[in-house]
Amino acid sequence: MKMKIKRWQAVAVWKWDLPDEDDVCGICRNVFDGCCPDCKSPGDDCPLIWGQCSHVFHMHCLLKWLEQESSRGQCPMDRRPFVAASA
Ligand SMILES: [Zn+2]
Ligand SMILES: [Zn+2]
Ligand SMILES: [Zn+2]
């Protein structure tokens, strides 16, 4: 039986550069390519949410943040009232 090496190489192309400040969630500091600490797999299970202030977070992180009274419904990055931007 022959091994299909080609496929294996494609998987190895994944890049793990150090994330830019812009590429990480301001709440959990995980990259947007990944998921929030509560989720196991990125993608549809762990969507991102954009604010009108142009900050982006994992939706789960933001919801957890907004549940805290101290958040006052504000963006954790700039303390402006957080309003989700329509996609
Ligand atoms: Zn996050
Ligand atoms: Zn999540
Ligand atoms: Zn913001």
Hey, what domains does the chain have and what are their CATH numbers?
A: 16-87 (3.30.40.10)
Whole-number percent of the chain with pLDDT over 70: 75
Instruction: Taking the CA atoms of 7, 44, 84 and 58 in sequence, report the sign of the dihedral they define.
Output: negative
Q: Which residues surround ligand 2, an ion (CB under 5 A)?
A: 35-36, 38-39, 46, 60
Query: Could you give the CA distance from residue 45 to residue 80 in angstroms, rounded to a whole number?
Result: 27
Tokens of residue 55, six digits: 């900050």
User: What's the mean pLDDT in 46-67?
Assistant: 96
| pLDDT on residue 54 | 92
Compute the distance from residue 40 Cα to the ligand 2 centre, in Å.
8
Q: Which residues pair with 57 in a beta bridge?
A: 49
Each residue of 64-80: b (16+ CB within 10 Å) or e?
bbeeeeeeeeebbeeee
Q: What is the pLDDT of residues 27-40, one digit of tens each?
A: 999 999 999 999 99
| pLDDT on residue 19 | 57
| pLDDT on residue 21 | 64
SS3 59: helix
User: What's the mean pLDDT in 1-20?
Assistant: 56
Compute the distance from residue 75 Cα to the ligand 3 centre, in Å.
5
Compute the distance from residue 25 Cα to the ligand 1 centre, in Å.
5
